[in-house]
Amino acid sequence: MTTFTTTDGVDIFFKDWGPKDGPVVILSHGWPLNSDSWENQAFFLAANGYRVVTHDRRGHGRSTQVWDGNDMDHYADDLAQLIEHLDLKDVSLFGFSTGGGEVARYVGRHGTGRVAKLGLISAVPPLMLKTEANPDGLPIEVFDGIRAGSVADRSQLYLDLASGPFFGFNRPGAKASQGMIQSFWAQGMMAGFKNTYDSIKAFSETDFNEDLKKFDRPTLIVHGDDDQVVPIDRAGRASKELVPHAELKVYPGAPHGLTDTHKDQLNADLLAFLRG
């Protein structure tokens, strides 16, 4: 396996696809998944001449299941160290769901000196949790429920998410893909118990408002208007307000997991954005 070791001793697995002299794209994955969740986009972009790097977040997939450091600051610092390890420049960074938070916090902590373009796909910023300053957010009970489900029966929780709201298979007339469901479950079960549990707090309670204000590169925001996991008004549209120059693409009827359900549309939009 291809890995590098962070300064705090965590082995991070990564894939490096496509021509090594091609324009660089990094794809950061969602919870509780790993880099395999980006394979449709990674294969497509690599086949179109891009060098595509994807990594398993600490505690997920094939990376070390470290006990501590399961938070956005560490996720962002790991991403920075990956970029430095490969000495990548003019990188286009795209984050899906929790990965969108990772990308935003990377910009907030490390700037855009190595960045060419930015993308938030079904992403969690600016803030999911309901607070006094964020009254339209989701109540803490929603995330406490996910934590309780993780402790009670993590395997069943992932099956329920994948067969229901994540891909929109709970909508009337939806045709469920057992392949997508099983892939989500398998990736989730590869991740560490403590890591995925801690990550619920990381993706729900981290405030990315100030990070988004530092987005000074061309930015693409893609969100489905039937996202039952990360509702578009609290996420994609709210991020657009903080990044006025961003291009917001709304996919009518699309669920959270549109990297799979709308992969052809997303692939075309990513390529057009990268080439634009």
State phi, psi for 216 to the nearest 5 degrees. Answer: -120, 25
- The answer on pLDDT for 127 being more than 80 is yes
State the catalytic residue, choosing from 37, 97, 122, 199: 97
Only one residue has tokens 């990376």, namely 63
Q: Where are the beta strands (DSSP E) in 180-246?
A: 219-224
State the catalytic residue, choosing from 77, 78, 227, 260: 227
pLDDT at 1: 75
Per-residue pLDDT reduced to its tens digit, 8-21: 999 999 999 999 99
Question: CA-based Rg of the chain, rounded to a whole angstrom?
Answer: 17
155 among known catalytic residues: no
Distance CA 171, CA 264 (A): 21
Ordered DSSP codes for 84-101: HHTT--SEEEEEETHHHH
Per-residue pLDDT reduced to its tens digit, 62-82: 999 999 999 999 999 999 999
Number of neighbours of residue 63 by Cβ within 10 angstroms: 26
227 among known catalytic residues: yes
Distance CA 93, CA 60 (A): 19
State the catalytic residue, choosing from 60, 74, 223, 256: 256
In this prediction the pTM is 0.97
Q: Give the mean pLDDT of the chain.
A: 98
State phi, psi for 224 to the nearest 5 degrees. Answer: -85, 140
CATH architecture of 3-275: 3-Layer(aba) Sandwich (3.40)
63 among known catalytic residues: no
178 contacts: CB under 8 Å, gap ≥ 6: none
Mean pLDDT for 157-183 is 98
Beta-strand pair 91-96/115-121 = parallel
